[in-house]
Structure 1
Amino acid sequence: MKAALIVVDMQEDFCPPNGSLAVQGARDIAPTINKLLANPGFAIRIVSQDYHPETHISFASNHPPPNNRPFESYVQMNNPALGKHDEVKPQRLWPVHCVAGTKGAAIIPEIDTSRVDLTVKKGMNPRVEMYSVFSDAFGNRDPVVNAQSVSADLKEFLTGQKITDVFSVGLAGDFCVKYTALDAALEGFRSYLVEDATRCVSPDEGWADARKELEAAGVSIIRSDGPEIGGLSKKN
């Protein structure tokens, strides 16, 4: 067993009090995440950042009214992959957030990034959403396709480090953390989501639905004080 920790999108725009897409209680999980970052059982520690251009398709302000209400409206999004442009998905619209180079895109100072081995910027292609650190909203994993969306091929990096187990934490549990954990399982890693080291956009219904989806995909939902974390240093 060789474990990696992925800290997903612990950024200013996702955190109170001033984040444009703030998740309730987001800053409260920083001490738990730092404890995980300090755990010697993790061979690799990764941080991800949403890093959008101003023209990103998910920003409500980039669409004309009346279909431009944040959280409520949806637009049609096309697959950016060559030969698949006719494939479409509905894209939920959000307030402008995590624009590249802005304060809102920065990792919050409460997170101890001194221990991080790799920072991955994602969601950089203006035409497509990217919740997971591994793939865009259409599940594209081809490095050529994803080169416009993400700064690193995470599967290639983890495989090169001989990682077998991936633990996902951060924001938000019902979106980017969920999809990262699901993709980790799809990529062949043993995948875990650390529940007390996440917060959700919709902590009730949203998390209940996400939990069912994760469990159905074989993702283990654990706690930071559970045996899966406690036994890491003995296995690595």
Structure 2
Amino acid sequence: MSVEFKPALLIIDLQEDFCPPIGALAVTDGRSITPIINDLLQLPFVKKVATKDWHPPNHISFAANHPAPNNIPFTSYATIANPNNPNEIQTTRLWPVHCIQGTPNAELIPELDLSRIDTIVDKGKDPRVEMYSAFEAPFRNPLVKEASSGLSQILKEAGVTDVFVTGLAMDYCVQNSAKDAASEGFKTYVISEATKAVDPGPDGWGKTEEELRAAGIKMVSISGEEVEKVRQLAG
């Protein structure tokens, strides 16, 4: 018996702080993907979810929260331990202060058609851990449950089978969200025209494509057969 096709659309972090002209962590041409995403929002996805970085001021990813001289945004790195298992560590890049909870720059950009989004998920709320994925913090042994967004449960309760990922940025939060979607058992795609990378070159976009492919995640086009299958659900 064939499994029913129930696709979801994920829009990752399409927020002011990730978009020109004022974003503290603006991705080049990040705003330009909005019309494509708005077109996708008109398709009959069974779940349409937007995510937001929603950081407290003391978040560990901010270079300003680390001692000099190793506190230069974009350049410095820090080692973070799993709060529940100090033997599990992660090295992470440090960023400018961004997406502070309740501030205008943490909001989804006004060009995005919010009327067609049924769920907004906040992530990155735990100050102790970096959280690129819209699902979980990177630590798995054990999971940092305090950091969980609850996104997997939201999708599973809706009966979702396939997840289409869009938003910002391809080589960070989009990539990690797609990988977690696949690990949660969803057939996962990244829509190439609906995302932009911090690094659009081979070390960013190119390397990310290779890693997604290795994880069983397919890069697809808005004009490809995978998105066309969603369109056909409208009858």
Scaled by the length of structure 2, what TM-score is found? 0.94
Within the candidate set 68, 71, 76, 2:74 is matched to 71
2:162 corresponds to which of 161, 165, 182: 165
Q: 2:213 aligns with which of 193, 212, 215?
A: 215
Measured in 2, the distance between the counterparts of 1:23 and 1:141 equals 32
Moved over 2 A (4+): 139-142, 233-236
Contact 2:60 2:129 in 1 (8 A): yes
Output the CA distance in 2 between the equivalents of 1:96 and 1:131: 15
Q: Are residue 10 (structure 1) and residue 10 (structure 2) matched?
A: no
Change (3 A) 1:167 1:141: farther
Q: Indicate the residue corresponding to 1:87 in structure 2.
A: 88
CA distance in 1, matches of 2:231, 2:198: 32
Distance 1:141 1:192, change over 3 A: farther
Structure 1 unaligned blocks of 5 or more: none
Which letter does structure 1 place at the counterpart of 2:131? M
Aligned residue number for residue 180 of structure 1: 177
CA distance in 2, matches of 1:89, 1:160: 31
Distance across 2 between alignment mates of 1:105 and 1:21: 11
* Structure 2 SS opposite 1:98: coil
Corresponding letter in the other structure for 1:74: Y
User: Structure 1 residues 177, 4: closer, same or farther in 2, change over 3 A?
Assistant: same
1:198 is matched with which residue? 195
Contact 2:88-2:141 within 8 A present in 1 as well: no
Q: Secondary structure at the match of 1:231?
A: helix
Q: CA RMSD in A?
A: 1.4
How many Å separate the matches in 1 of 2:160 and 2:110? 28
Amino acid at match of 1:15: C
* SS in structure 1 at match of 2:46: strand
Whether 1:26 aligns to 2:30 is: yes
Separation in 2, partners of 1:141, 1:191: 24
Whole-Å Cα distance in 1 between the matches of residues 160 and 92 of structure 2? Answer: 32
Inter-partner Cα distance in structure 1 for 2:220 and 2:7? 15
- After TM superposition, give the deviation of residue 172 of structure 1 in Å: 0.1
1:2–1:235 CA contact under 8 A, matched in 2: no
What letter matches 1:218 in structure 2?
G
Q: With structure 1 as the length reference, what TM-score do the two structures score?
A: 0.93
1:101 maps to 2:102? yes
Whole-angstrom CA distance in 2 between matches of 1:76 and 1:178: 21
Q: Tell me the distance in 2 between the aligned counterparts of 1:172 and 1:141.
A: 27
Of all paired residues, the percent bearing the same amino acid is 48
Cα distance, 1:235 vs. partner? 4.6
| Distance in 1 between residues matched to 2:15 and 2:75, nearest whole Å | 23
Match of 1:230 in 2: 228
